[in-house]
């Protein structure tokens, strides 16, 4: 596996842990963090560049960080820290088609 991919996996898990720390310290709620991530995801997939210049797979790649962190929030709220492979599997299983896809 490419070492950059491994670094990104570690980064996603680190950000997920920071999110959980923010929740534990009552700085932000789980819902506030999820909302911010959903807003960022929508910004990525609905930008002019994304809809005009990128294939659906490229849009998915851009949205993946937000989606994996949203899944981490949901999974951790179930009481167990998720593995990266579990998060990625959940993101793939929940992926929907874009409006401009046939």
pLDDT tens, position by position, 35-62: 999 999 999 888 877 778 888 888 889 8
CB neighbours of residue 77 within 10 Å: 12
Residue with tokens 């820290």: 81
In this prediction, residue 75 carries a pLDDT of 86
Q: Quickly state the pLDDT bin for 78 (edges 50, 70, 90).
A: low
At 52, list the tokens. 């005009």
Residue 83, Ramachandran bin (φ over 0: left; ψ between -120 and 50: alpha; else beta): beta
């Amino acid at each position: 596996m490419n070492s950059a991919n491994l670094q990104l996996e570690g980064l996603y898990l680190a950000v997920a842990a920071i999110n959980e720390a923010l929740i534990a310290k009552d700085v932000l709620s789980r819902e506030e963090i999820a909302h911010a991530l959903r807003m960022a995801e929508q910004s990525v997939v609905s930008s002019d560049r994304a809809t005009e210049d990128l294939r659906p797979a490229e849009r998915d790649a851009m949205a993946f960080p937000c989606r994996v962190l949203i899944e981490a929030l949901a999974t951790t709220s179930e009481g167990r820290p998720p593995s990266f492979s579990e998060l990625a599997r959940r993101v793939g299983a929940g992926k929907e088609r874009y409006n401009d896809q046939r």
